[in-house]
Chains A and B, each alone.
Chain A
Amino acid sequence: MNILNFLKLSEKVKVTIDGMPVEVEPGTSILNAARQIGGDIVPPAMCYYSKLEGSGGKCRTCLVKVSKGSEKDPRPMPKLVASCRTNVMDGMEVQNITSPEVVEARRGIVEMLLINHPLDCPVCDQAGECHLQDLAYEHGAEATRYEFDRRTFDRIDIGDKIQLHMTRCILCYRCVFVADQITENRVHGILGRGDHAEISTYIEKAIDNDFSGNVIDVCPVGALTDKTFRFKNRVWFTKPVEAHRDCPTCSGKTTLWYKGEEVLRVTARKDEFGEVEEFICNTCRFDKKETKDWVIEGPKKVSRQSVINSNHYDQLQPAQVVKKNLELMEANKEQFERATKF
């Protein structure tokens, strides 16, 4: 009986997202099921991070509409649900970009996230790879309706390598989860409540851990940035190159951001959803900024739509007329022979 139950449990469930069916393991969230399909229908996520246990459910950008609960109970869910925290059920039908309700709700969420965001993208080092920027560009309204003073904080140094701009923070808690799960003892967290909530360390105590630099990578906005890269260059003027090194503490697989011959910064490798593949240690991130420290693998694949790919013409297609058309060449030859016979 138990085995039967187990078999039944491990059976894949079928779920339809925006009309696209996919079969996933039971217990998968709607967001992850959508990610298995990929493409435009993947809901954006600001706080969910698949590598961090317990993350998600805070930013509400991944809201979707469940138009059919399951095969057994086909009633739709009464409200929009956070797809990162809702698990799929057999026969579930989900609407993401096909539902005007979801698009409208997401616009509201973006406006909400941007209420206290300073919109200082021209100054911010994250601009160009900022998820909030992408989100606002894709789903947000053109102008803000907010007329009051935005909350402001002073900059805080977390250690000598990490800079915290609390004004830019959207309180996604990702960095707190990193500190909780990657590092052994937690020294930073969220202080205050509601509008006063802020990421902080007690008495600005430095995070002293080999993997503390990963909070920079997981931060979806420019709240946690690399001080060694501060104002060095804009992201889109640097050239990302995949490289690795033999590191005793981490996997050593990183992306180097070059400007000319110089390595301006080192980050972990990020996948198509902007999540790091493997966390890297602080030695790799902050101290190894020479080409000779690394084994270069090749240029990082950057999406054509990304600003980082602007002015890089690596996908140039030769014009159609230059291509050889064997059929046409044969026909031309025949024509030529016929014309010259007389």
Chain B
Amino acid sequence: MESLSGRKKVLEQKPMNFMERIYLPAIFKGMAITFMHMFKKKETIHYPEQEREFSENWRGMHSLKRDEQGKERCTACGLCALSCPAEAITMISAEREKGEEHLYREEKYAAVYEINMLRCIFCGLCEEACPKEAIYLDGPIVPADFLRKDFIYGKDKLVEMPINELEALKAVTH
């Protein structure tokens, strides 16, 4: 049938000559390329043990910050949950009792704060919406897991470690 566009090219298939038919030269050529790559610099890393340096504007796992006195900054205003396009954030607020002033910054705090990491798209809008500078996406890559329920991160995983504990940990490791 005649080509409609007139741009069709019919390729002619020539019969292979002897050297092509034995395949060996082509195989050796391919093996040589493979062998050469053994001596080149590797592009991959052993991920969980080694980690690449993140760019400055990298957005990873969320962390809920504490202030200079180690009080939780989050006041459960709900603006992060409101701005979240994936609706990954939920929270339940509670009122600060007498004697808890060293734990929470404002009179209201998040008793439960959950981020569903399967829903989260790491857009950083929660960070932008936060009026208290309480949430930042400055963590590493969220690790893989087996169960869906394990991807719902609560305050135990999100809240930053208190400063004194962090220093104690540093002292142990050094």
**Interface residues in chain A, defined as those with a beta carbon under 8 Å from any beta carbon in chain B:** 120-123, 127, 230-234, 236-237, 307, 310-311
* CB pair A122 B131 closer than 8 Å: yes
**Which B positions have Cβ atoms within 8 angstroms of A?**
75-79, 81-82, 87, 93-95, 106-108, 131-132
20 contacts between A and B (CB under 8 A): A120-B106, A122-B77, A122-B106, A122-B108, A123-B75, A123-B77, A123-B106, A127-B77, A230-B95, A231-B93, A231-B95, A231-B108, A232-B93, A234-B77, A237-B78, A237-B81, A237-B82, A310-B82, A311-B82, A311-B87
CB closest chain-A residue, reference B105:
A123
Quick one: closest B residue to A120, CB to CB?
A: B106
| Docked complex Cα distance between A123 and B96 (Å) | 11
* B82 A236 Cβ-Cβ under 8 A: yes
Of chain B, the residue at the smallest CB distance from A236 is B82
**Chain A residue nearest in CB terms to B78:** A234
A121 cross-chain contacts in B, Cβ below 8 A:
77, 131
* A74 CB to nearest chain B CB (Å): 49
Q: A122 vs B95: C-alpha distance in the bound complex, in angstroms?
A: 13
In whole angstroms, what is the CA distance A121 to B79 when docked?
A: 11
Contact across chains for A307 and B94 when beta carbons are under 8 A apart: no
Cβ contact within 8 Å between B94 and A231? yes
Q: Which 7 A-B pairs have the closest CB atoms?
A: A122-B77, A234-B78, A231-B93, A123-B108, A122-B75, A231-B108, A123-B106
Indicate the member of B78, B87, B107 with the most A CB atoms within 10 Å. B78
A237 to B82, CA, bound (A): 8
Query: What total of A-B pairs shows CB separation below 8 Å?
Result: 37
Q: Which of B75, B81, B82 has the most CB of A within 10 A?
A: B82
Compute how far the CA of A276 lies from the CA of B61 in the bound complex, rounded to whole angstroms. 45
A128 to B107, CA, bound (A): 19
Give Cα distance in the complex from A29 to B61, angstroms.
Answer: 57
Q: Would you call the interface of chain B mostly helix, strand, loop, or mixed?
A: loop
In the complex, A232→B108 CA distance in Å?
Answer: 10
Alpha-carbon distance A311/B107, docked complex (angstroms): 28
A236→B78 contact, CB < 8 A = yes
Write out the residue numbers on chain A whose beta carbons fall within 8 Å of the beta carbon of B82.
Answer: 234, 236-237, 307, 310-311
State in angstroms the CA–CA spacing of A236 and B77 once bound together.
11
* C-alpha spacing A123/B107, complex, angstroms: 7
Distance between A88 CB and nearest chain B CB, rounded to angstroms: 41
A128 to chain B, nearest CB (A): 9
> Do B81 and A122 touch across chains, with their CB atoms under 8 A apart?
no
Cβ–Cβ < 8 Å partners of B76 in chain A:
231
B95 to chain A, nearest CB (A): 5
CB distance from A6 to the nearest CB of B (A): 56
With A127-B77, A231-B108 in contact, is A122–B87 under 8 Å at CB? no
Q: Which single residue of chain B is at the shortest CB-CB distance from A235?
A: B78
The closest CB in chain A to the CB of B77 belongs to A122
- Which of A231, A233, A310 has the largest number of chain B CB atoms within 10 A? A231
CB distance from A273 to the nearest CB of B (A): 25
Bound CA–CA A232/B106 (angstroms): 16
Question: CA–CA, A286 to B108, complex, Å?
Answer: 22
Which residue on chain B has the smallest CB distance to residue A234? B78
Given the complex, which residues of A lie within 8 Å of B75, measured CB to CB?
122-123
Among B81, B87, B108, B132, the most chain A Cβ lie within 10 Å of the Cβ of B108
Report the separation of the CA atoms of residues A233 and B82 in the bound assembly, to the nearest whole angstrom. 12
B-chain residues with CB within 8 Å of residue A123 when the two chains form the complex = 75, 77, 106-108
- Give the Cβ gap from A217 to chain B, nearest Cβ, in Å: 22
Instruction: Indicate if the CB atoms of A122 and B132 lie closer than 8 Å.
Output: yes
A285 to chain B, nearest CB (A): 21
Could you say which residues of chain A place their CB within 8 Å of the CB of B108?
A: 122-123, 231
Least CB distance from B104 to A in Å reads 11
Q: Which residues of B have CB within 8 Å of A231?
A: 76, 93-95, 108
A310 (CB) vs chain B CBs: closest residue? B82
Contacts of B94 in A (CB 8 A): 231
A232: nearest chain-B partner, CB-CB? B93
Q: What residues on B are CB-neighbors of A234 within 8 Å? A: 77-78, 82
Interface centre among B79, B106, B131 (most CB of A within 10 A): B79
Q: A234-B77, A234-B82 are in contact. List 12 more A-B contacts (CB 8 A).
A: A120-B106, A122-B75, A122-B77, A122-B106, A122-B132, A123-B75, A123-B106, A231-B94, A231-B95, A237-B78, A237-B82, A310-B82
Minimum Cβ distance to chain B for residue A182 (Å) = 29
A120 partner residues in chain B, CB cutoff 8 A? 106
A22-B76 Cα distance, complex, nearest whole Å:
46
Least CB distance from A313 to B in Å reads 13
